[in-house]
Amino acid sequence: METYLVGGAVRDALMGLPVQDRDWVVVGATPQALQDQGFLPVGRDFPVFLHPVSKEEYALARTERNTAPGYRGFAVHAAPDVTLEDDLARRDLTINSIAVKADSTRASGLFSSKNSSLAANWEAGGALIDPYGGRQDIADKVLRHVTPAFREDPVRILRLARFAARFTDFTVAPQTQALVRDMVTTGEVDHLVPERVWQEISRGLMEAQPSRMFAVLRNCGALNRLLPELDCLWGVPQSAEHHPEVDTGVHVMLVIDMAARLNANLAVRFACLTHDVGKGTTPAHVLPRHIGHEERSVRILKGLCQRLRVPVECKELADVVAREHGNIHRSGELNASAIMRLLERCDAIRKPGRFADILLACECDARGRLGLHDSAYPQAKRLTDALASALSVATNSIATEAQLTGAKGEKIGELIRQARTQAVARTL
């Protein structure tokens, strides 16, 4: 029985990056042999075990064979006769199909990349197992599929795109580009289930340069199949007052990259991705104007979120941003009453934290659109100050005094609203 460190931990160590999760492969063993050593079985679809001390995952070396369309149609074979090379061959990219002998890592079974000479020692000592050229592809900064079996799992198209967003100076190998285009043409990408699409898209949005994920998907035709609401934005000019010579699709990519630059959370990044989807259905005869695109965006977004089963917090934030981003951009022109109505439509009184996310998404939209990478977004401060003033109103006192005069329900609510509007007016 032999144990190897595999996958992302080896890749990141070789690239000089911090190592997060460590995965181990055990060759020449049976499930019973691992359980006899105290390993805890946790895998449902294939033999995976938790180390009795480190609690890290150890999987038996296995092969996989596609038996039906989609990523769930796989027959897994895990047995002592499966070699390490067999196991590495089933992986997606060459940079993820490198292994290191366990005895070349820490004796405790834990691994640290802080030792800068460790990767060099692996190679010098022959501990590095790299049958598919992953080490060279790291050096050449290339994302390349391991074997033609890549096409058996359409999720790998999304993973390829996500790695392009993470490793921003890597390119996709021409052979891999051709393979994924063929997977789209033959309909294999159509078998992806919504949960996996959202899982990979959400991960890609959190990478260093999310636009590269969508560039890869669009280049192979997968974006049209998975997110047609987004794909149709290319070729559509931006609004007349804001760079009509720039595609709306290009604009959206600038916005999500700005969100990454500002370290925005997932809900904000998703709102940035979807805030302008209504522009893809603007009638041609009114372009480059986009009258009513906010309402169209909200309607299209609802269907998109239902299809991908987007989490509630992402869906709700994206809905408000799609509906109100234009009003927030123009909020410098609004008086206290109009600002109070805007705050209410955004539910800012009840959810001030979410309103801060709404403002951040709008800031990304403005700064990404105009290329104002180091400029402020004055609308955010103005509306934040207005909300703080509205929240400072002593509503309990107003309600108590109003009840003494016989006021109830809607009347009390109107008095509170008037007081908040006055407080906003003083701030403005």
Q: In this predicted model, what pLDDT tens digit does every residue of 370-395 receive, in sequence order?
A: 655 567 899 999 999 999 999 998 88
Which residue, 140, 170, 193, sits at the end of a domain? 140
Residue 113, pLDDT above cutoff 50? no
CA 398/CA 391 separation, integer angstroms: 13
- Round the average pLDDT of the chain to a whole number and report it: 87
pLDDT tens figures, 18-29: 887 888 999 988
Domain of 124: which CATH number?
A: 3.30.460.10
Contact status, residue 274 vs residue 304, Cβ threshold 8 Å = yes
Q: pLDDT per residue over 290-310, tens digit each?
A: 777 888 999 999 999 999 999
Write the CA distances from 380 to 4, 94, 133, 265, 337, integer angstroms: 51, 45, 50, 17, 17
Residue 394 CA to residue 397 CA, distance in Å, equals 6
- Average pLDDT on 188-214 reads 95
SS3 content of the chain, % helix, strand, coil (to 5): 55, 10, 35
Question: Does residue 200 lie in a domain region?
Answer: yes
Q: Which residue has the higher pLDDT, 100 or 243?
A: 100
Give the tokens for residue 198: 């959202």
Tell me whether residue 236 is in a domain. no
Looking at 104, 120, 140, which one is the last position of a domain? 140
Q: Are 180 and 157 in contact (CB under 8 A)?
A: yes
Mean pLDDT: which of 9-13, 72-76, 178-182 is highest? Answer: 178-182
User: Given a cut of 60, is residue 107 above it in pLDDT?
Assistant: no
Last residue of a domain, one of 110, 140, 170: 140
Do residue 218 and residue 301 come from a single domain? no
Question: What's the number of domains the chain is made of?
Answer: 4
* DSSP H stretches of helix in 16-154: 31-36, 84-89, 118-124, 134-140
Q: How many Å apart are CA 212 and CA 170, to the nearest integer?
A: 10
pLDDT score, position 66: 63
pLDDT computed for residue 11 by the predictor: 92
Residue 6 near residue 18 (C-beta atoms within 8 A): no
Which residues constitute the domain of residue 359?
242-376
β-partners of residue 59 are 25, 48
Residue 53 lies in a domain: yes
Residues 154 and 101 both lie in one domain: no
CA distances from 85 to 125, 126, 314, 324, 335 (A): 19, 15, 41, 54, 68
Distance CA 332, CA 259 (A): 22
Q: Is the pLDDT of residue 82 over 90?
A: no
